[in-house]
Structure 1
Amino acid sequence: MSIMKNAFKRINNVLYLIIALLIASCVNKIDDEIKEGNIPISFSVKTSKTTTKAAKSTFEIGDRTGVFAMLTGNSLDKQRYIDNLLLECGEGSKLIPKKEVYYPEGDATLDFISYYPYQTASVSKGSSLLNVAVQTDQSKAADYSLSNFMTARIEDVSNSEKTVKLEYKHQFAKIKLVLTPKEGEDADDMLKANPRIIATGFKTQAVYDLQSDKLSDIDDASEMDIIPFGTWKKEGNSLSGKEFIVIPQTHSDSGQAFTLEWNGKIYICSLPSAAIKEDTELEIRINALQSTSETLTGVIAGIKEWGFSEQGESENRYDITAIHTASLSFKTSDVYRIYHQGKPVAEVCREYLYATAADAVDSKAIVVYPVQDNERTDLMNGIVLQLPDKTAMIHGGRVSWNESENSLAYTSGHSQPIEKFYIDASKKIVTEKPAAATLAINVSSYVIRDIRNGILQTYPIVKIGTQYWMKEDLQAVYYNDSRSMPLGKTLGGGESYFKWADCDACFYNGEAVLTEKLAPLDWKLPAPNDWSRLKEYVGENASALKKADAWSSDVYSATNETGFGIQPRGLLLERENKTTLVNANSSTAYWVYNSTQKQLDTVVMFTNGNNDIALKNAVKPEGKDYYNAFSVRCIKE
């Protein structure tokens, strides 16, 4: 009986299509051939053994997909009954359509094709092709999820009050990263360092044929840097937790690789030749070792596909020839130096650009400068790689600094953010890969290496205008000739440094300053003119120098555009014949010294009660001939 019923239904469908063809000489308008019935179509997500999202097994409320429907037997590029209908996930994994849609009258059945994430302008009429892409910055959960392109299809659905269950399949691949410290490296130390890793050389755009359910074209010109999602966590003696979504592709001639910034140095691990397939999870295990070679070895531990497993191993060494902007975290310093055969050839600065000329700029920026043979930075020829807070096509500009006036001439750019640059054979900075060979280089954060009495202390550097400043306060407990510096308990006991309970700052009295032995090699204590130049450049705006969230004020908020990062440390003064730390949460003062002074008379003061960069002369306790103690911040000579 059931066989006869199904046969009768198929006959009815054939007769229906024949009648429709007789009425119209060609199939081109759905409304002329078939009418909507009164049974609404409802949709839900069907969870399969695979995950349907990058990180979770279900859609979340608010996720959006698109759906097409065709009369069974018709293709997407020929005729559509439902055209890119927006479905939004609601409670219980129900997909709620933007508008109510109905099954057609009669016995006609529908074929559904759905995709995620939804695009407003998706597949044009007469086509079945959809432009797809992964996000280049997948560090945020929302962007990571939007990179996970999926499709679902179900055919021959007859009108029914039952929900249409859409089962989605990954069309892209997931790459999981594992770092394994080697040869004495410690996983806990590595976790604390929190290495920054990016993927390079991966194609990020393609065309997908929804009708054939296959990638039809991968854009070879779409290679971009990808920032992974997740946070490192320790598992055994390895770090895991970073992963990203990538379009299926084969190993490219330019080579996919991973760039790791670890304790301020850049390391490279190349991806061995491997086909990255859809609906697969590829784990890459990197044997991580800090060395002078600036390379890492990479091992493919296994390709895990749902229902399929393939094992393989390979180790690679990889020269660094391109500097990827996304790999520079600026965590250990706001300045990097690029070296060729041990000599600096370029410098990358995260800095604050401010100019009031006709082509004005007031923005944070990432700028690359040439470094001359004498190892001095050529500040006349800077290239603006990115203005991180700007979305307009104004990146790629030029900066030229007048060092005598500490002023900027700026020319706006007309490009997207520059993702990478090269050093050509003539040691010139270029933003397009040159036809000739590029130099193999190393990249390392530029820091002050202050060695005293066999103890190494490093300090980050920040460039503000034409000045290079320590980004942190001095923490030395020895003089720069390695002679021991006395730890003071009370003012008036001679040259000393002071450490106070519940405060991680070091304070130095004036007697210690006058020894001229505090600053690291090639650095000095700033003179009045140095502070004046800084004040002029930031427009006497102390907020631009104060670390955000560290200062409280009802009037001014710390913005720290410059990256100078001043925090409230307090002042070590004598009150009622007792050495006391005052205003620890609301003030900081720095010594001012020009190296010719026989006695000190001023400090520069920052408080949370005003926005001043003020010179103060209360450097001695009242009526005494010895000095108070304040913080020290040094400037490059």
Structure 2
Amino acid sequence: MNIMRNAFKRANYVLCLLLALSGTSCINRLNDEIKEGSILISFSFEASKAATKVTKNTFDIGDRSGIFAMLTGNSLDQQRYIDNLLLECSDNSKLISKKEVYYPEGDATLDFISYYPYQEENVSKGSSLLDVTVQADQNKTANYSLSNFMTARIENVPNSEKTVKLEYKHRFAKIKLVLIPQEGEDTDEMLKANPRIIATGFRTQAVYDLQSDKLSSVDDASETDIIPFGTWKKEGNTLSGKEFIVIPQTHSDGGQAFTLEWNGKIYTCPLPSATIEEDTELEICINALQSTSATLTGVIANIKEWELSEQGESENRYEITAVHTASLSFSTSDIYRIYHQGKPVAEVCREYLYTAPADAVATKAIVAYSVQDNEQTDLTNGIVLQLPDKTATTHGGKVSWNEADNSLTYISGHSRPIEKFYIDENRKIVTEKPAAPALAINVSSYVIRDIRNGILHTYPIVKIGAQYWMKEDLQTAHYNDSKSMPLRKALGDGEGYLKWVGTNSHFYNGEAVLTGKLAPLDWRLPTENDWNRLKEYIGENASALKKADTWSSDVYSATNETGFCIQPAGLLLERENKTALVNANSSTAYWLYDGTQKQLDKVVMFANSNNDIALKNAVKPEGKDYYNAFSIRCIKE
């Protein structure tokens, strides 16, 4: 059922210009016509406390606005008495001006025009036009605030002691989002999943005429994916709390939409044709249901000024033809796959690019690869969509992997971050919308679906170099033929797995490893060579593999640059003829197995006391014929 809501609140801001009289005037000539007097203009605003202007209708400490003043009868594009004076909010609810300014002498009156946020490069002489924009990543509080463009004006202000009030008005619109779980969906589970949502197809740059208080033009080429502000919260049977600011605009071709990543799958909801007016708050309700369809249904609430209204309704038909990078949260896996007609055609990886010497490239990246007809990823021609840690225009580079030695060839790009890409009719990745219709696609997290004895366990995947690894340790109580695996209480009790009170870790003894039945389908336990290739790729910097916030007293900084997320699980060893968990907060070890071994002789160990991937041969208790128990991390065949 379509649900419509009206949710409109006007938020106005009051700025007080406190006019303070001083003593005898000191006259200065300006342009041989205007005489500056001695009545100082000081500024303040009325507010009980400084809070976020977006929610409490006041200014934050450090917020900066600009103000112009003209002799009454002059316009902004003519002679200015005050030219873009900087005002900054102080900690005592005062607006401090960059310099002292005075009223003109005599009976002349002033017209004031103010705007927020302040721009140092502002309205040029002979013009009244100001470039305005909304930020793309409004999830950052500062960016959300800077997107909130407002203006205020008052005319015919004489030089007197009366407080002059400027009433600010929003010149952009706010869109609030509400998710309504449909039948079979649980609101608490949806809140736990924390769906990521972005707005697509909205223009983000325009020109504003401060003299007429109207948008002069909206840049049709400025469409940018917008990440909303706020966090989801439960209200009844809905989720709300996400919102973003947008420039007023009309869009009639159905190009505006909302993209939702929910439990690793991408869904969309189109925005109906509508005109978004200034100084309005509108609420969009999206009916949310996990399914094989890529489309969610939604209804837009009334879009209106304070007196007039119109409403539009989603047609509930919308094909995904573009992959929006901002919609990829990588929360369920570090890899997504893009499907066309049920077959993978592309892959997007969040990965770590590293070449020696280190100054060549050592950075996190989001890279897109084509997937071939045999469903194997083509690692020879990757496109670097974004370098999340880089601000320079070095995105859009190329990567090529040599799978034989796990090495990288990297060519730096020269573009801004690539926000979206398409799959053309030849199933190639293109970053510009193709002339022929792009393929309709679905986007899902690429995970291991490990089904054993009717129980599904999913594992995230991380790509490191040319290798694909499980991003979590194995946690199963069944072999991969679905037969139950014995839970053992102590080492030496026979093949099986062990758990330790107070932990969620699964430890597998060597007897269970030698069955060859532990790895998920199409995956295997790594060999010594696999670990060595990983070690060589990351420059023997094992600390980059550790999860930074769970290692105690770590001598070497654990950065988790690769996303491998190794956590200290400890080792199950024998101490004084008893099975004991050793170094639970400072080490972990993984089994090596080549699939044919009759005896196990090594494990790979990570410890907080060194910066290496170390091979150890203490696989059995001293003097015993049975094995210790360690963790398992698998690699793709």
Match of 1:486 in 2: 486
The 5 A counterparts of 1:112-191 are 112-191=112-191
Report the alpha carbon displacement of residue 165 of structure 1 after superposing the two structures with TM: 1.9
Match of 1:463 in 2: 463
Match of 1:101 in 2: 101
Match of 1:472 in 2: 472
CA-to-aligned-CA distance 1:250-270 (integer Å, 9 cap, x gap)? 125361000000000000000
Task: Please give the alpha-carbon distance, in whole angstroms, between the structure 1 residues aligned to 2:252 and 2:494.
Answer: 67
Task: Please give the alpha-carbon distance, in whole angstroms, between the structure 2 residues aligned to 1:409 and 1:431.
Answer: 21
What is the letter of the counterpart of residue 482 of structure 2? Answer: S
Question: 2:526 aligns to what SS in structure 1?
Answer: coil
Question: 1:86 aligns to what SS in structure 2?
Answer: strand
Match of 1:214 in 2: 214
CA contact (8 A) 2:173 2:276 kept: yes
What is the letter of the counterpart of residue 104 of structure 1? Answer: P
Match of 2:504 in 1: 504
Match of 1:418 in 2: 418
Report the alpha carbon displacement of residue 618 of structure 1 after superposing the two structures with TM: 0.5
What is the letter of the counterpart of residue 258 of structure 1? Answer: F
Q: Does structure 1 residue 364 correspond to structure 2 residue 393?
A: no
CA contact (8 A) 1:30 1:79 kept: no
The 5 A counterparts of 1:337-356 are 337-356=337-356
Where do 5+ consecutive residues of structure 2 fail to align? 1-28
CA contact (8 A) 1:572 1:580 kept: yes
Match of 2:17 in 1: none
Report the alpha carbon displacement of residue 310 of structure 1 after superposing the two structures with TM: 5.2
CA contact (8 A) 1:347 1:370 kept: yes
Mean Cα deviation higher: 432-441 or 358-367 = 358-367
CA contact (8 A) 1:225 1:324 kept: yes
Match of 1:271 in 2: 271
Mean Cα deviation higher: 607-616 or 353-362 = 353-362
What is the letter of the counterpart of residue 509 of structure 2? Answer: N
CA-to-aligned-CA distance 1:478-516 (integer Å, 9 cap, x gap)? 000000000110110101111111111100000000010
Match of 1:409 in 2: 409
Displaced runs of 4 or more, over 6 A: none
Task: Please give the alpha-carbon distance, in whole angstroms, between the structure 1 residues aligned to 2:222 and 2:396.
Answer: 19
Report the alpha carbon displacement of residue 92 of structure 1 after superposing the two structures with TM: 4.9
Alpha carbons of structure 1 residues 304 and 579: separation in structure 2 relative to 1, 3 Å: farther
The 5 A counterparts of 1:238-277 are 238-253=238-253, 255-277=255-277
Mean Cα deviation higher: 228-237 or 245-254 = 245-254
Q: Does structure 1 residue 604 correspond to structure 2 residue 599?
A: no
Q: Does structure 1 residue 519 correspond to structure 2 residue 519?
A: yes
Task: Please give the alpha-carbon distance, in whole angstroms, between the structure 2 residues aligned to 1:532 and 1:446.
Answer: 25
Task: Please give the alpha-carbon distance, in whole angstroms, between the structure 2 residues aligned to 1:287 and 1:457.
Answer: 28
Task: Please give the alpha-carbon distance, in whole angstroms, between the structure 2 residues aligned to 1:379 and 1:508.
Answer: 33
Task: Please give the alpha-carbon distance, in whole angstroms, between the structure 1 residues aligned to 2:126 and 2:45.
Answer: 28
Mean Cα deviation higher: 89-98 or 146-155 = 89-98
Question: 2:495 aligns to what SS in structure 1?
Answer: coil
CA contact (8 A) 2:272 2:312 kept: no
Q: Does structure 1 residue 587 correspond to structure 2 residue 587?
A: yes
Question: 2:144 aligns to what SS in structure 1?
Answer: helix
Match of 2:19 in 1: none
Task: Please give the alpha-carbon distance, in whole angstroms, between the structure 1 residues aligned to 2:616 and 2:624.
Answer: 17
What is the letter of the counterpart of residue 482 of structure 1? Answer: S
Match of 1:225 in 2: 225
Report the alpha carbon displacement of residue 360 of structure 1 after superposing the two structures with TM: 2.1
What is the letter of the counterpart of residue 35 of structure 2? Answer: K
Alpha carbons of structure 1 residues 224 and 613: separation in structure 2 relative to 1, 3 Å: same
CA-to-aligned-CA distance 1:589-614 (integer Å, 9 cap, x gap)? 00011112101010000000111110
What is the letter of the counterpart of residue 528 of structure 2? Answer: P
Alpha carbons of structure 1 residues 184 and 481: separation in structure 2 relative to 1, 3 Å: same
Question: 1:585 aligns to what SS in structure 2?
Answer: coil
The 5 A counterparts of 1:10-49 are 30-45=30-45
CA contact (8 A) 2:254 2:270 kept: no
Task: Please give the alpha-carbon distance, in whole angstroms, between the structure 2 residues aligned to 1:393 and 1:300.
Answer: 37
Alpha carbons of structure 1 residues 527 and 496: separation in structure 2 relative to 1, 3 Å: same
Task: Please give the alpha-carbon distance, in whole angstroms, between the structure 1 residues aligned to 2:440 and 2:405.
Answer: 36
Question: 1:225 aligns to what SS in structure 2?
Answer: coil
Q: Does structure 1 residue 378 correspond to structure 2 residue 378?
A: yes
Task: Please give the alpha-carbon distance, in whole angstroms, between the structure 1 residues aligned to 2:444 and 2:349.
Answer: 12
CA-to-aligned-CA distance 1:137-167 (integer Å, 9 cap, x gap)? 0001111010000000011000023333221
Report the alpha carbon displacement of residue 103 of structure 1 after superposing the two structures with TM: 0.2
Match of 2:447 in 1: 447
Match of 1:194 in 2: 194
Task: Please give the alpha-carbon distance, in whole angstroms, between the structure 2 residues aligned to 1:301 and 1:102.
Answer: 48
What is the letter of the counterpart of residue 570 of structure 2? Answer: G
Task: Please give the alpha-carbon distance, in whole angstroms, between the structure 2 residues aligned to 1:359 and 1:540.
Answer: 16
Report the alpha carbon displacement of residue 552 of structure 1 after superposing the two structures with TM: 3.0
CA contact (8 A) 2:277 2:303 kept: no
Report the alpha carbon displacement of residue 30 of structure 1 after superposing the two structures with TM: 4.1
CA-to-aligned-CA distance 1:20-66 (integer Å, 9 cap, x gap)? xxxxxxxxx94311111111112233579xx9932221111111000
Report the alpha carbon displacement of residue 524 of structure 1 after superposing the two structures with TM: 0.2
Q: Does structure 1 residue 544 correspond to structure 2 residue 544?
A: yes
Question: 1:188 aligns to what SS in structure 2?
Answer: helix
CA contact (8 A) 1:66 1:115 kept: yes
Match of 1:26 in 2: none
Match of 1:12 in 2: none
Task: Please give the alpha-carbon distance, in whole angstroms, between the structure 2 residues aligned to 1:306 and 1:557.
Answer: 56
Question: 1:451 aligns to what SS in structure 2?
Answer: strand
Task: Please give the alpha-carbon distance, in whole angstroms, between the structure 2 residues aligned to 1:93 and 1:305.
Answer: 31
Alpha carbons of structure 1 residues 389 and 252: separation in structure 2 relative to 1, 3 Å: farther
CA contact (8 A) 2:129 2:210 kept: yes
Give the number of equivalent residue pairs: 607
Query: If the length of structure 1 is used for normalisation, what is the TM-score?
Result: 0.93
CA contact (8 A) 2:67 2:114 kept: yes
Identity of matched residues, %: 82
Alpha carbons of structure 1 residues 574 and 248: separation in structure 2 relative to 1, 3 Å: same
Query: If the length of structure 2 is used for normalisation, what is the TM-score?
Result: 0.93
Match of 2:18 in 1: none
Alpha carbons of structure 1 residues 173 and 52: separation in structure 2 relative to 1, 3 Å: farther
CA contact (8 A) 1:44 1:164 kept: no
Where do 5+ consecutive residues of structure 1 fail to align? 1-28
What is the letter of the counterpart of residue 515 of structure 1? Answer: T
Question: 1:167 aligns to what SS in structure 2?
Answer: strand
Task: Please give the alpha-carbon distance, in whole angstroms, between the structure 2 residues aligned to 1:37 and 1:73.
Answer: 19
What is the letter of the counterpart of residue 402 of structure 1? Answer: N
CA contact (8 A) 1:407 1:465 kept: yes
Question: 2:251 aligns to what SS in structure 1?
Answer: coil
Mean Cα deviation higher: 91-100 or 341-350 = 91-100
CA-to-aligned-CA distance 1:207-243 (integer Å, 9 cap, x gap)? 0000000000100000000000000000011000000
What is the letter of the counterpart of residue 578 of structure 1? Answer: K
Match of 1:5 in 2: none
Task: Please give the alpha-carbon distance, in whole angstroms, between the structure 1 residues aligned to 2:145 and 2:280.
Answer: 16
Match of 1:7 in 2: none
Question: 2:561 aligns to what SS in structure 1?
Answer: coil
Task: Please give the alpha-carbon distance, in whole angstroms, between the structure 2 residues aligned to 1:431 and 1:89.
Answer: 43
Alpha carbons of structure 1 residues 408 and 312: separation in structure 2 relative to 1, 3 Å: closer
